[in-house]
Amino acid sequence: MPKWLNDAVFYEIYPQSFYDSNGDGIGDINGITEKLDYVKGLGCNAIWLNPVYDSPFMDAGYDVRNYKQVAARYGTNEDLVNLFNEAHKKGIKILLDLVPGHTSDTHPWFIEAKKAAKSEYSNRYIFTKSVWDAPPEYRMMCGICERNGNYMVNYFSSQPALNYGFYNITHPEWQLPCDHPDCLATVEAIKDIMRFWLDKGADGFRVDMADSLVKNDDEKIATAKIWRGVRDMLDAEYPEAAMVSEWCSPDRAIVNAGFHMDFYLDHQGNGYNTLFRSGEWGDKAVFNPNGKGNVKAFADEYLPAYERSKGCGYISFMTNNHDMPRVTAYLDKQAIKLVNAFIFTMPGVPFLYYGDEIGMRYQSDLVSKEGGFSRTGSRTPMQWNSGKNLGFSTGDEPYLPVDKNSDAPTVENQQNDEDSIYKVVTDMISLRHKYDDLKGNGELEFVYEDGKIPFFYKRGNLVMFFNPLGKESVINTNYNGEKIYELGCTEFSDGKVKMAPQSFVMIKV
C-alpha cells in the first residue's frame, strides 16, 4: 500500500475546463502546469486528471482513440511528462484516468475488429456470430459493420465493450470464457497502457467503470480477479502507484479486487445521496437544513463497509465529480461549508472537484457538449478572476460558457473573503494534514440516533459535532475540550453541546 495515500487529498481536474494557456478556448495540460501552485495552495497533494487522450470526444474523452497519445487540443505527450515532473517537484502526485471497459468506435483495434477479415483484434470486442443474432438482454449495435455480427456497447453507442470474456456463458457460440487467450490479451493490453504512463511518471489511475469488465459476472468474481492481477503487477513493479475505482462497492473493489481506494458514490444505492442529494433536489439530504434527512440511512450503509475495508484500502468521499450536478444545485452556502467539514474530516482519501472550493454553480441551462447532457452544467470553465472569460481563457469562444451571473464566485474574490467556502475548504484540508487523527486510516467512532440529524464522530482525540438543521439543537455528550474549529456558534456545558442552526465544531479531548 503506497504510504502517501494516508495523507492524500485529491483535486479532480477536468482538463478542457481548467485553464487555457494558449488562448484557443480549451483548457490544456500546460495550463494545469501553470496552476500547480494554486492546487498546492488548496492543500491538495494529488490530482485526478480526467481523460487527456486522443479521442473524437463523443463522451468528453471517455471514448479513447489512442491510449498512448495526448489529444492535440490538450498538448503533447511531452507536455504531460512535464506536468508529472513539475507536479512531483511540488510534492503533487498525478493519477490519469484509465478507461478499460471500452474504447471509441474509431480506435484502430475496433476498426480492425469490425472488418470481415480475421485479425488479432477480431476478439478484442464482443461480437455475436451473425447479424441475425441480437439477444435483447445485451446492448448491441446491429448491422453496421462489414463483419457479419453485432457488437456490444459498454456505455454510449460510440463505446464498444472490450472483451474480457463472460463469467456465466449463455451463448457459447460467441461468448468467450475469461481465460480465453484473446480475453487475456485484452488484460495485457490494458496493463501495457498502464506501464506506458507509469514509466513516464504517472502515479497511478482512476479507473473508469472498473466493475464493467467481465460480462455475466453478477457477483463480480472474474472482474475482481483481473484487477487483483493488475494490483499484483503494481505491487511488484510500481509499488508507489495507486488505483482508485469507480465501482462504489468497497467490499468488491477494495477487499476483493485490490483497489487502493474506491469512490463513495450513489451507483450501488449507497449512502452518498442520503448525505448530500437525497429526494427532490436534496430535500431529504442529511445536510439540508429542513431536517427531512436521516443520518442513520447513511451510517447503516457506510459503517459496515468501512469496517470491512479498513486496513485494505480507503473509501473516497468526494465533493462532487464531472458526472453529477454540483452540490450548489441542492444546498445553501452554510450547508456546503458543513459538507466540506464532513468530507475532509472523515476517514479515507477525499477528493475535491475543481471549482467546488469556490462554490461554482451548476449551470442547468446549457446545451449538451461532447456527450455531457445533464452533466454539462458541472463541466463549465474554472472561474479564476473578473477578467475575460473569468480568467479561464483569452480566446473568444471558451469550451463552455462561463457563469454569466454578476456575482459568479471566482478564486480571486473567494480568496479575499473570510466568509467564503474557499476559506472553509482550505482550513479543513490544512487541519487534515496537521492532525494524524484526521488522516485516511485514523480511527472512526460514529455516534447517531435513528431519526436524529445532529450527530457527531470521534477520530482519535478529535471530535466533530454537526448540526445541519436550520434550528438550534442540543447534542448530549460527555466530551469537552479545546475548540479547534467552529462554524456557527457552539457552547459546551453540563454534558451537552448547544449548537446554533447549521453549525459545526471540532474539539480536541
**Bridge partners (DSSP) listed for residue 244:** 206, 261
Any idea of the CA torsion for 28, 30, 32, 36, to the nearest 10 degrees?
A: 180
Residue with the closest Cβ to ligand NOJ? 62
CA distance 330 to 89: 38
CA distance 124 to 182: 7
Identity of the residue, 57 or 167, whose beta carbon is nearer to ligand NOJ in the bound complex? 57
Distance in Å, CB of 59 to ligand NOJ, minimum: 5
C-alpha cell of 195? 506501464
Identity of the residue, 171 or 267, whose beta carbon is nearer to ligand NOJ in the bound complex? 267
Pair type for strands 314-316 and 261-263? parallel
Identity of the residue, 287 or 353, whose beta carbon is nearer to ligand NOJ in the bound complex? 353
**Site residues for ligand NOJ per CB under 6 A:** 59, 62, 99, 155, 208-209, 246, 322-323
Distance in Å, CB of 246 to ligand NOJ, minimum: 6
Q: Are 70 and 29 a contacting pair, CB within 8 Å?
A: yes
Distance in Å, CB of 155 to ligand NOJ, minimum: 4
Identity of the residue, 323 or 436, whose beta carbon is nearer to ligand NOJ in the bound complex? 323
Identity of the residue, 379 or 432, whose beta carbon is nearer to ligand NOJ in the bound complex? 379
SS3 191: helix
DSSP string computed for 323-345: TS--GGGTS-HHHHHHHHHHHTT
Distance in Å, CB of 211 to ligand NOJ, minimum: 11
Distance in Å, CB of 444 to ligand NOJ, minimum: 27
Distance in Å, CB of 158 to ligand NOJ, minimum: 10
Distance in Å, CB of 208 to ligand NOJ, minimum: 5
SS3 408: coil
Identity of the residue, 151 or 155, whose beta carbon is nearer to ligand NOJ in the bound complex? 155
CA distance 149 to 143: 7
SS3 9: coil
Q: Which helix (H) or strand (E) holds 445?
A: strand 445-447
Identity of the residue, 164 or 306, whose beta carbon is nearer to ligand NOJ in the bound complex? 164
Angle at the Cα of 365 from the Cα atoms of 360 and 367, rounded to 5 degrees: 110
